[in-house]
Structure formats: C-alpha cells, structure tokens
Amino acid sequence: MTQYNRRQFIKQGSQATLAAGVGMSILPNIASAEIVNTYAQQPLPYAYNALEPYIDATTMDIHYNKHAAAYAKNLAEACAAENVNTQTVSLDNLMQSIGKYSAKMRNNGGGHFNHEFFWKCMKPGSTGGPNGKLLTAIQQSFGSVDGFKTKFADAAKSRFGSGWAWLVQTPNGQLVCGSTPNQDNPLMDISELKGKPLLGLDVWEHAYYLKYQNKRPDYITNWFNLVDWNFVATQFVS
Ligand SMILES: [Fe+2]
C-alpha cells in the first residue's frame, strides 16, 4: 500500500466518521475494487476438488454452478429492472447504497459479491498464516492469531441461520470480527457490521451440509486450513 493510498484511507475514514453524523454512507470507498468488482461471475480459481478434504468437490460444484451462479443471474435482472448501469456503478458502490434498492437487489447483489470474495479467500494448500503488518494488526486487535481464530469462529458459530462471518477493517483502521445475516455484507449501508472485508466465511448450510451435516463448528475449524493469507494481505490497508 502506497503512502498516498494510506493517507487516502485515513482521510476517507475521517470523512466517513463525519458523514455518519449527517446520515451519509460511513464507508470509505476503499473496498476490494481491484479484486472483486465485477457483476459477472468469474471463473473459479481452482478445481472443484482442490479444497478437499476440507470442502468436497460436489459441494463446490453445486455452490459455484447453482447457488453463486443464480445470485449473479438474479443480480443482472435486478440491475436491469431498477436501472442500475453496471458500466458506471461499481459493485462496491452498489453495496454502499443497497438500502435504496429492492430486496432482490440486496439479496442477490450481496450474494454475488460475497461469493466472488469467498472463492478468493481460499486456496488449496496452506499459505501458513498472516505475516508482516497484517500479523501485527491481528496481534494488536486479538492478542494472537489463535485469538483471532477464536473470535472469528465464535462469530461464525453464533450467526443464527444463514449468513457470513467476517474479518473487517473499520474506517478508523481497527480489525474486527463479526457476522452478517443472509447475504448482507459489511460494505452495505444497511449493515450493522461495517468496514472493509478482509476475510469472509459462508456459513449457509449449502456451503457445508453435504460433508458436515449439522456440524458447523467442524466446518469452521477445518476451513482455517484453506485461508489464503496472501489474499487477505492484499485487502488489508496498512
Ligand atoms: Fe454460499
């Protein structure tokens, strides 16, 4: 992250805090625009069976080709119906103003963004753990990497029903773990948890039920083996 971007982040964070008082978006426009900002479903960056034994090939196939594909398709329909110009309105910006659109836009816009982000949060084989400035930030916020994992897992386990667990960077630079219901995400103006997503975990049953049935905690524990910490680092603004 360049000095300029760092300053912009801090400045935008300050603006965001200020804006909150006057009812504007409190989110800085520093979302993962370079990484996840397309309305079209992107190719899965690995084979369906690449995440085994933690996530099975059938789950990945159905998850990507049925669930995630449907979100992208339905988002396109909602954009057409509600006059969202996908050439000029970024996906990030759509998330940040989602409150003024329909439930279809909210559910499928969030669903599309979240899944595109989720695929990139995982990678076959271990990437070790966080390092450098990200590691320092995690240690400062959670005491240790294990402390972070406990907080994140608690957020994932305690999300009632369907939803997502997140590690986010708030506009003031703090790292926070939390969760969102359904297909909401921390970029959305209507979300209680707000910030820049660094890592997200799908805890809808469609993400794990074939292999884990009702044992969501086992899915969460195993999933940490798949986290692409290099991707997380690209999302972190130091
Ligand atoms: Fe999902």
Model pLDDT for residues 103-139, shown as the tens digit of each residue: 999 999 999 999 999 999 999 997 889 999 999 999 9
For residues 217 and 152, what is the distance between their CA atoms, to the nearest angstrom? 11
Parent domain of 180: 132-235
SS3 202: strand
Distance from the Cα of residue 10 to its chain's centroid:
21
136-142: long-range pairs with CB below 8 Å, 24+: 137/175, 137/236, 137/238, 138/175, 140/175, 141/174, 141/175, 141/176, 142/175, 142/177
> Cα of 208 to ligand 1 centre, how many Å?
9
Predicted local distance difference test score (pLDDT) of residue 8: 37
CA-closest candidate to residue 112, choices 200, 217, 235, 205: 200
Distance of CA 229 from the midpoint of ligand 1 (Å): 20
pLDDT at 34 over 60: no
Per-residue pLDDT at 42 exceeds 90: yes
pLDDT score of 37: 75
69 or 128, which is more confident: 69
Distance (angstroms) between ligand 1 centre and the Cα of 1 equals: 30
Pairing mode, strands 163-169 and 175-181: antiparallel
Q: How far is the CA of 231 from the centre of ligand 1 (A)?
A: 19
Rounded to the nearest whole angstrom, what is the distance from the C-alpha of residue 153 to the centroid of ligand 1?
17
176 within some domain: yes
Whether 5 has a pLDDT exceeding 70, the answer reads no
Place of tokens 């034994």: 53
In a domain, 53, yes or no: no
* Interval 196-220 mean pLDDT: 97
What pLDDT digit, counting tens, does each position of 171-201 carry? 888 999 999 999 999 999 999 999 999 999 9
Expressed in angstroms and rounded, the spacing between residue 139 Cα and the centre of ligand 1 is 29
Which segment of 107-111, 126-130, 156-160, 230-234 scores lowest on mean pLDDT?
126-130
Judge whether 3 lies within some domain. no
Give the per-residue pLDDT at 24: 34
What is the CATH number for 196? 3.55.40.20
Share of the chain above pLDDT 70, in %: 85
Q: What is the pLDDT of residue 13?
A: 39
| pLDDT confidence of residue 36 | 64
Number of domains in the chain: 1
Per the CB < 8 A criterion, the answer to whether 186 and 167 are in contact is: no
Structure tokens at 205: 């049953």
Q: Is residue 121 part of a domain?
A: no
Q: What angle do CA 29, 31, 33 make, to 5 degrees?
A: 105
- Exposure string of 196-209, with b = 16+ CB inside 10 Å and e = fewer, is bbbbbbbbbeebbe
Query: Is residue 172 included in any domain, yes or no?
Result: yes
Identify which has the larger pLDDT, 33 or 103.
Answer: 103
- What is the whole-number distance in angstroms between the Cα of residue 206 and the centre of ligand 1? 6
Residue 147 domain flag: yes
Question: From ligand 1's centre to the CA of 5, what distance in Å?
Answer: 32
Residue 30 domain flag: no
Distance 183 CA to ligand 1 centre (A): 9
Choose between 24 and 172: higher pLDDT: 172
Does residue 221 form part of some domain? yes
- The letter for the amino acid at 224 is F
Looking at residue 149, what is its pLDDT?
98
- DSSP sequence for 60-122: HHHIIIIIIHHHHHHHHHHHHHTT--TTTS-HHHHHHTGGGS-HHHHHHHHHHHHHHHHHHHB
Report how far ligand 1's centroid is from the alpha carbon of 121 (Å). Answer: 13
Q: Report d(CA 119, CA 228) in Å as an integer.
A: 10
CA of 27 to the centre of ligand 1 (A): 24
Report the chain's mean pLDDT, rounded to a whole number: 88
